[in-house]
Structure formats: C-alpha cells, structure tokens
C-alpha cells in the first residue's frame, strides 16, 4: 500500500522542482528587459542551456514567463516570497494542460474558478486597475481611447490564427481537429468574415501537424490577414514586400497575385529570409522571388512597407515588448519608418501603390508618419482603403485594435503615385 503514496510523493517533488525552475527562469528573464535586448532569442538559448527540456517543458515555462511579463507591475511586491509569488503566477496563467499539472502544488490544491479573460481577479484587482499594467505614456498615443475591453485583450493570451495556404482538396477542419484534444477541437473553426482564416486555441500543437508540415495552413494573425483585404484594389502585377520578415504577408500576397502576378521579398535580417524561403518552398508557390540584396531600382505595381516599429499592437503576443519599450523609442522608430518609406517610394511606378503598415498602436508611428510622407512627396496622394470589416478610412489610414477581431493591433495606409 505504500507504493502509491511513494509515487504521489515523487510526483509532487517533480512538480515542486518545476516551480523552482520556473522561478529561476523568471529571475533570469528580468535581466532581459532592457530596450533592444533580443528577448525571444535569449530565452531560446536559456532553454537550450537547460539540456533536458522537451516541448511540454518549453510550453510550460514560456507561459509562466509571459504571464509574469503581462502582470509584472502587480507581481513585483510578492516576488521575494517565492512560494506566494509562484502560487499567484500559476493562478494568473492561462489554464493550458501544462499549467494545470501544477495545480496540485497550490496552497489550496486548486486554482480559483476564474474565466481566462478575468484572471486579474486572482489578485483581488478590479477592471479599472488594468491601466496600471501598461506604460503610463501609452494611453496618450492611441487614436481610440483605451477602454477596459482594450486592456483585457492586451493582457490576455491571443488565440492561434491560421490561414489556408493551398487547397487541401479535403475537409481541412476535420484534419486539424483530428490532431487536437476534444477541448481544442471545439475551438477550431473558419472565420465567418475573413477569407481563408481559421481560428484555433492558443495551445494547439501545430508545429508537427501534417496540415502545417505539408503547407496547407500557415500561422498568420487575423489582423495581418485583414490588412491585404483592406486594399481598395486587389493586388496585381509585380509587387515588392520590402520588409518581409518571415514572410506571412509575402505568402498571402503571392496567393492573391496568382496566376499572373509575382512578388519579390526582401528583409535585411538574413535569418528571417531563410525562414521565408522555407515557408515559400512548403507552400508550393512559384511566384515568389527572395532577394538577397535590397533593391535600389525598379518599377513595381505595388510596394508593401511593413515597417519595423515599437510593436505595441503585439504586446499580448510578445509581452516583453511592453516592458522594453520606452516613449523615446517610439519617436525613434517613427524617424526610421519615414526614412524607409522615402527610400522605397522611388520604386513605385506611376499609377502604382505604396502600402505602409506597422504593428504599432501609436499615432506617432502611424498617422503622423503618413502625414509627413505626403507632405514630402507631392507625387503621392492618399488612397482610401476599402470599407470592409466595418472600418472607414477618413484620410488617415485605418488602425485595427486587438479587441476588434481578437488578434494583434496594426495600422495601414495606402498612397497612390500619380502619373
């Protein structure tokens, strides 16, 4: 009869060890919040240094680290008391299967019964306290007033958004659900408004799923997918994706340009270009050209500049940015964005379109940059975006907020080069 008790004791010992590891990792992550620190790369290296982490371990510790970053201002007071701190953190975290394994280590042996988007109640906080979690300068930067609903989204883990990359010739939803738990399967669905957009739970294990490996679906946030659908005219001809990153919009743009159009893609980050090349190969698309040097000449029907930015629209997905970003860095990014726009404007042919976007919610990086560009380039005029999805472009572009579609936030404006 002693053996079950022994096994239970070993299990609790292992779970307590996971708590200690999580605490030490969070302690290390606190040193990575200086502006400009490549947080995700450093965390990846930190996980590698542990030697024995499997995929479940990485998901567990990443969720705890990111939860800490979302609620950092409220957790600092209890940080020195390790057990109390970890109890609070586990209760705040999204109840993924990995997090739930730690519930037996809680003081009361079970978490509070609190909805995922109201986890702040675990700290006896009210919804009106949420502004304390974001930088104090943030509210003055947004075009739309930041409501409690907005803040709830900014501190809540987003779902996984997918885009159908190629025709599966079979029931894609059925294939995706086959690789999910019953709870996950219930959340996998097509979006009713956004073409080819699929919703999946945040903890859905997509990386090794055949639908992803074979290129039938790609990970792309819903707001990012919406961007190209907001263009007044459907893309055609020869396009340049000037700041392509890992290529989410490049792949979508290439799909929209079929069968006769093509897209060139460039990014100064070579690692991102390698990922883009891998994704392009997996997609089977033949109308993508990956450039190893920045183009300095040409005449494109369209140029997409998805400019580097402060990333406030992605704080829910990348909460470390909420702690790294200063107001001064926002203004620095705005200068860079304007310079990038100016450098690519000459590559747009007469009658062509220049698309400017950021994943920032700051008007200083968005509307202000748009206004400065139009003031400097009289041969370009503002081209209103399509009134799809309930948006209206009143001459200043469109900002998509996280609460609009339960995704990231972004800004987009388009300029037509006059003949």
User: Can 197 be counted among the known catalytic residues?
Assistant: no
Give residue-wise pLDDT tens across range 364-413.
Answer: 999 999 999 999 999 999 999 999 999 999 999 999 999 999 999 999 99
List the Cα angle 30/31/32 in 5-degree steps. Answer: 95
Q: Which CATH architecture has domain 230-417?
A: 3-Layer(aba) Sandwich (3.40)
Res 9: pLDDT: 59
Report pTM.
Answer: 0.92
Query: Which strands, in side-by-side order, build the sheet including 197-200?
Result: 189-190, 197-200, 160-164, 217-219
Give residue-wise pLDDT tens across range 183-242.
Answer: 899 999 999 999 999 999 998 989 889 999 999 999 999 999 999 999 999 999 999 999
Res 53: pLDDT: 86
Annotated binding-site positions: 267, 292, 306
Residues of the chain with pLDDT under 70: 1-10, 110-112, 169
Catalytic residue of the set 91, 243, 309, 359: 359
Q: What is the 3-state secondary structure (H, E, C) of the chain?
A: CHHHHHHHHHHHHHHHHHHHHHHHHHHHHHHHCCCCCCHHHHHHHHHHHHCCCCHHHHHHHHHHHHHHHHCHHHHHHHCCCHHHHHHHHHHHCCCCHHHHCCHHHCCCCCCCCCCHHHHHHHHCCCHHHHHHHCCCCHHHHCCCCCCHHHHHHHCCCCCEEEEECCCCCCCHHHHHHHCCCHHHHCCCEECCCCCCEEEECCCCCCCCCHHHHCCCEEECCHHHHHHHHCCCCCCCCEEEECCCCCCHHHHHHHHHHCCCCEEEECCCCHHHHHHHHHHHHHHCCCCEEECCCCCCCCCEEEEEEECCCCCHHHCCCCCHHHHHCCHHHHHHHHHHHHHHHHHHHHHEEEEEEEEEEECCCCCCCCHHHHHHHHHHCCCEEEECCCCHHHCCCCCCCEEECHHHHCCCCEEEEEEEECC
Res 4: pLDDT: 52
Annotated binding-site positions for S-adenosyl-L-methionine: 267, 292, 306
Look up the CATH number of domain 160-219.
3.30.70
């Amino acid at each position: 009869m002693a053996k079950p008790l022994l096994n239970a004791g070993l299990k609790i010992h292992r779970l307590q060890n996971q708590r200690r590891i999580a605490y030490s990792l969070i302690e290390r992550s606190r040193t990575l919040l200086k502006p400009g620190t490549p947080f995700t790369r450093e965390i990846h290296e930190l996980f590698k240094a542990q030697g024995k982490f499997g995929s479940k371990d990485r998901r567990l510790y990443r969720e705890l680290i990111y939860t800490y970053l979302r609620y950092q201002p409220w957790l600092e007071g209890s940080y020195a008391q390790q057990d109390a701190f970890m109890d609070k953190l586990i209760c705040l975290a999204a109840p993924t299967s990995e997090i739930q394994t730690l519930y037996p280590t809680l003081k009361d042996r079970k978490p509070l019964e609190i909805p995922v988007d109201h986890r702040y109640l675990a700290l006896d906080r009210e919804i009106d306290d949420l502004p304390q979690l974001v930088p104090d300068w943030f509210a003055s930067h947004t075009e739309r007033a930041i409501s409690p609903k907005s803040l709830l989204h900014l501190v809540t883990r987003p779902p996984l958004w997918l885009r159908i990359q190629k025709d599966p010739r079979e029931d894609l939803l059925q294939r995706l659900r086959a690789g999910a738990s019953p709870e996950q399967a219930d959340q996998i669905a097509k979006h009713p408004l956004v073409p080819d957009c699929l919703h999946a739970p945040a903890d859905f294990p997509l990386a090794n799923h055949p639908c992803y490996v074979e290129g039938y679906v790609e990970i792309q946030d819903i707001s990012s997918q919406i961007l190209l659908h907001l263009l007044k005219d459907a893309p055609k001809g020869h396009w340049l994706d000037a700041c392509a990153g890992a290529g989410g919009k490049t792949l979508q743009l290439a799909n929209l340009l079929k069968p006769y159009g093509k897209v060139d893609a460039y990014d100064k980050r070579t690692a991102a270009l390698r990922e883009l090349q891998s994704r392009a190969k997996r997609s089977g698309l033949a109308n993508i050209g990956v450039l190893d040097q920045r183009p300095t000449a040409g005449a494109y029907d369209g140029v997409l500049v998805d400019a580097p930015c402060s990333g406030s629209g992605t704080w829910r997905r990348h909460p470390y940015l909420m702690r790294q970003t200063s107001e001064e860095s926002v203004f620095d990014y705005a200068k860079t964005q304007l310079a990038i726009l100016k450098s690519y404007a000459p590559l747009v042919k007469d009658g062509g379109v220049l698309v400017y976007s950021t994943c920032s919610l700051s008007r200083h990086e968005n509307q202000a940059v748009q206004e400065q560009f139009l003031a400097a380039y009289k041969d370009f005029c503002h081209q209103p975006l399509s009134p799809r999805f309930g948006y209206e472009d009143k001459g200043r572009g469109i900002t998509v907020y996280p609460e609009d579609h339960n995704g990231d936030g972004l800004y987009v404006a388009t300029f037509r080069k006059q003949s």
